[in-house]
């Protein structure tokens, strides 16, 4: 299988993760013109499973290092499978909440608040439960602190948006959903890592999963749990009337493909994040990948114009957010290169 052997390459792949995690939400925005997010989410999950399978039989099966996918999945212990599936369920709950927040409050609010909060808590979780021994904790947590400031700036900016730009009651609901999503999302990564051998991808411990196998099992776990979690949300939506499975099958091929593309983009980013974790360390690779809020905010502010007409104070807060996010991410890169 393909294995990352240098810290520099690991960082590059983590930045690609950041781009993927921060950009998949655009497919939801595109589909939202004629498609409820609850229906979009089914295509998103299907796309995730299909792309994970593609990666497993390509990058996960070539080369002489590590165990190829088929051999790896055959030797997995039930304990490892259980940890990965638990991570998948936790992620699915959080990501549905994030999708709901995106549909209500927009990319530039949902991602900086939700995914940014997941970054902050998740870095602590990964540092405690899966330390690599290479991180400089002082630099790492100073970087995280700067990102916290960026999140505060985003929250204040969202709260200052005039009611004529965005309904305040609806906006508050979107903010609450984003916060809940972030708290829950911060716990999925350590669960998945429990099912992997992060110390040696070339000769992984028996019973543990390689990154590609972990990604496939994770995607299947999200898909299976979706029959329960998303079905509940479809019947009891956060906003709007309930939607049915009959409506899903009435969607056009183009609409379904847009959703699947979103799942494939997210899956690529996550797989690269798992691959990089062996060299960059769990906390650094997770933190860099979760720099996605900055990417999503760029899309939301400059492409989707979600803060259009919001005023100079809001624009100043958004600019401050970007600066602190960039400096914080730079410090996180420095923290892992020790």
pLDDT at residue 338, rounded to an integer: 58
Kindly give, in sequence order, each residue whose CB lies less than 8 Å from that of residue 35, ignoring residues fewer than 6 positions away. 251, 255, 259
User: Model-level pTM?
Assistant: 0.84
Stated as kind and residue range, the H or E segment containing 163 is: none
pLDDT at residue 108, rounded to an integer: 67
DSSP result, 183-249: HHHTTHHHHHHHTB-TT-SSSPPTTPBPHHHHHHHHHHHHHHHHHHHHHHHHHS-SSSS---HHHHT
338 residues of the chain, pLDDT tens digit each: 899 989 889 989 988 998 898 888 889 888 877 789 999 999 999 999 999 999 999 999 998 788 999 999 999 999 999 999 999 999 999 999 988 888 887 766 777 788 778 878 888 888 888 776 667 889 988 988 898 888 788 778 866 764 545 566 777 888 899 999 999 999 998 899 999 998 888 888 999 999 999 999 999 999 999 999 999 999 999 888 999 999 999 999 999 999 999 999 999 999 999 999 888 888 788 877 777 777 877 787 787 777 777 778 888 988 998 899 889 888 988 887 65
Kindly give, in sequence order, each residue whose CB lies less than 8 Å from that of residue 268, ignoring residues fewer than 6 positions away. 16, 20, 51, 55
pLDDT at residue 135, rounded to an integer: 75
pLDDT at residue 153, rounded to an integer: 85
């Amino acid at each position: 299988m393909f294995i990352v052997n240098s810290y520099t390459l690991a960082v590059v792949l983590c930045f690609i993760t950041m781009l993927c995690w921060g950009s998949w939400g655009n497919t939801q925005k595109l589909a939202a013109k004629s498609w409820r997010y609850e229906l979009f989410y089914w295509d998103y999950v299907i796309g995730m499973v299909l792309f994970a399978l593609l990666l497993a039989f390509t990058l996960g099966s070539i080369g002489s290092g590590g165990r190829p996918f088929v051999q790896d999945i055959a030797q997995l212990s039930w304990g490892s499978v259980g940890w990965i599936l638990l991570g998948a369920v936790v992620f699915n709950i959080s990501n549905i909440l994030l999708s709901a927040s995106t549909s209500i409050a927009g990319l530039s609010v949902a991602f900086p608040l939700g995914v940014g909060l997941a970054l902050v808590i998740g870095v602590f979780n990964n540092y405690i439960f899966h330390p690599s021994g290479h991180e400089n904790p002082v630099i790492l947590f100073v970087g995280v602190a700067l990102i916290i400031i960026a999140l505060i700036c985003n929250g204040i900016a969202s709260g200052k948006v005039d009611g004529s730009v965005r309904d305040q009651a609806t906006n508050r609901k979107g903010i609450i959903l984003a916060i809940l999503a972030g708290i829950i999302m911060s716990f999925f990564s350590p669960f998945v890592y429990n099912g992997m051998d992060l110390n040696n991808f070339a000769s992984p411990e028996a019973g543990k999963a390689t990154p590609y196998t972990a990604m496939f099992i994770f995607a299947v776990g999200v898909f299976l749990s979706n029959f329960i979690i998303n079905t509940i949300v479809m019947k009891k939506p956060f906003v709007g009337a309930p939607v049915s499975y009959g409506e899903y099958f009435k969607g056009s091929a183009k609409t379904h493909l847009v959703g699947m593309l979103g799942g494939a983009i997210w899956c690529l980013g996550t797989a690269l994040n798992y691959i990089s974790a062996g060299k960059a360390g769990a906390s650094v690779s997770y933190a860099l990948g979760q720099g996605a809020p900055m990417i999503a905010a760029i899309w939301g502010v400059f492409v989707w114009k979600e803060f259009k007409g919001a005023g100079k104070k809001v624009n100043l807060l958004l600019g401050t957010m970007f600066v602190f996010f960039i400096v914080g991410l730079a410090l996180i890169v420095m923290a892992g290169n020790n």
